[in-house]
Amino acid sequence: MEWALRDIPDLDFPDYDNKNGNLIMIFSDIFVQAKTGLKLSGLALAMASAQSWAIDAPNPDPNPSPDVPATVGTCPDYSGVLNLPAFHGPEQKRFQRWQSRYWSGNHSPYHMVHDEIANPGESVTVVGKFDYSRTVHKDLEREYVHAYLYGTGLDDWQYLGKYRTDRDGKVSVPVAGKPAGEYIVRMVVEGDLSQADGFVSVVPQGQETVLFDIDGTLTLSDFEQVGDYLGASTAQSWGYAKETVQAYVDKGYRVIYVTGRPYWIARDTREWFTKIIDLPQWHIRTNDDGGSPLSYETEAYKLAYLTSLQQDKGLNIVRAYGNADTDITAFADSGIAKKETWIIGEHAGAQGTQGIYGDYSGHYFDVVESTPNAACRTE
């Protein structure tokens, strides 16, 4: 349903700036909202849950700085993207299309950049997705975006080039191979200077990794099951969830968050990590498809991604946390041992996994605190 509806083009009227053009803008607004309503209705029917969104998202912290220790050796080194140098973006220029000016002037930006993982020296393509309005998610079509890079070993921002969005509001930015470390990719819309950040983690093979699902695992609510993403940026977390994740960061493990949330919730997800739970917000993997959070699709997506992390990137996933039966299956099918699979909530301890009962406090003191440092901290 989503892909067919996304193929419906905009109504391309001539460029109007006078008062008569307002009628066309209003007509286009109604058309796009009707188009999006069909999309959302199809998703709601697929989930058997009709949900709606009515407000634009607040702007997230542009310079999040969670509590991340200095690291050595081949441990994750997050320091390079925490203390960012002054950023001087592109000169603002007029949007190419009147539709873009209308949406930018009347709705909040809802952009996102997909996080990526690469091995040292491996080039990677980073995809940015640009749209406006939490309600409509109107794609920013055929407009210019500038991309920049900063991170480990760099003294200043590097310019990656100027790109034009496609009909889905996407740009694909190639990033040349880098040494092991953490890098931030910032993409800036030329027409209004709105921006979004994503992260590229360059990891050596064999790096010890701890995996966390988000919904129902770190948060009390399982948005993936009910399709209600309205509270995704303000959800309550389980007690001692923050301390559990932070402990692994302190011990030198790479932490990866993988969620069945569709990609268009990425901005809310980053906001939750930086403002609500105050944890490192990378590496976050959302569902690239975003068409439906049905359980069987979520399981397949997670399995494919975890398999890629281990087989293609060589990560050593030593422990995984989830809450759903789909997590249990995806973790097991990707080769993660059930003795290191920790499940919280109603499925705690199911199918031979390890159970977390109540919140994370008991698990934190009994298991996490006594977990040895990652091998990179003892080399």
Joined together, the tokens standing for residue 212 give 């966390």
pLDDT given at position 232:
56
197 and 266 housed in the same domain: no
Statement to judge: residues 216 and 152 lie in one domain: no
Report the range of poorest mean pLDDT among 64-78, 224-238, 258-272: 64-78
Q: What are phi and psi of 102, to 5 degrees?
A: -65, -50
Q: Tell me, what CATH number does 271's domain have?
A: 3.40.50.1000
Give the number of domains in the chain: 3
* Integer Cα distance of 317 and 208 in angstroms: 6
pLDDT of residue 17 exceeding 90, the answer is no
Res 223: pLDDT: 58
Residue 60 lies in a domain: no
In a domain, 81, yes or no: no
Same domain (yes/no): 360, 237 = yes
The pLDDT, as a whole number, for residue 225 is 46
Same domain assignment for residues 223 and 349: yes
Q: In whole angstroms, what is the distance from residue 129 CA to residue 110 CA? A: 9
Distances (CA, A) of 29 to 22, 25, 99, 103, 170: 10, 6, 9, 9, 21
Q: Do residues 190 and 268 both lie within one domain?
A: no
Residue 165 has pLDDT above 70, yes or no: yes
pLDDT at 214: 87
- 374 and 247 within one domain: yes
Per-residue pLDDT tens over the stretch 50-61: 232 222 333 434
Give yes or no: residues 138 and 220 share one domain: no
Give the pLDDT score at 328. Answer: 96
Both tokens of residue 277?
């739970």
Tokens of 345: 């909530």
Q: What CATH number does residue 125 fall under? A: 2.60.40.730
Whether residues 270 and 368 fall in one domain? yes
Whether 85 is covered by a domain: the verdict is no
Residue 373 lies in a domain: yes
Residue that is last in its domain, among 157, 182, 202: 202
Query: At which residue do the structure tokens 């998703």 appear?
Result: 43
* Residue 4 phi, psi (nearest 5): -65, -40
Same domain, 225 and 295: yes
Model's pTM, two decimal places? 0.78
* Lowest-pLDDT range of 65-74, 255-264, 316-325, 360-369: 65-74
- Residue 159 has, within 13 A of its CA and on its CB side, a CA count of 8
What are the phi and psi torsion angles at 120 (to 5°)?
A: -55, 130
Q: How many CB atoms lie within 10 A of CB 254?
A: 26
Domain that holds residue 176: 109-202
pLDDT band for position 62 (cuts 50, 70, 90): very low
- Residue 236 has a pLDDT of 82
Residue type, 280: P
Nearest-CA neighbor of 138 among 112, 163, 165, 109? Answer: 109
pLDDT, mean of residues 235-244:
89
Q: Is residue 196 part of a domain?
A: yes
Distances (CA, A) of 340 to 178, 251, 322, 371: 32, 17, 11, 12
What's the confidence (pLDDT) of residue 354? Answer: 98
For residue range 242-282, what is the model confidence (pLDDT) as tens digits?
999 999 999 999 999 988 777 667 777 777 777 766 666 67
Whether residue 133 is contained in a domain is answered as yes
- 266, 177: one domain: no
Kindly tell me if the per-residue pLDDT of 151 is higher than 70: yes
- For residue 58, being part of any structural domain is answered with no
Are both 224 and 366 inside the same structural domain?
yes
Q: In the chain, pLDDT over 70 holds for what percent of residues?
A: 73
Q: What is the per-residue pLDDT for 176?
A: 97
Whether residue 319 sits in one domain with residue 252? yes
CA distance 16 to 28: 13
Q: Is residue 29 part of a domain?
A: yes
pLDDT of residue 349: 97
pLDDT above 70 for 359: yes
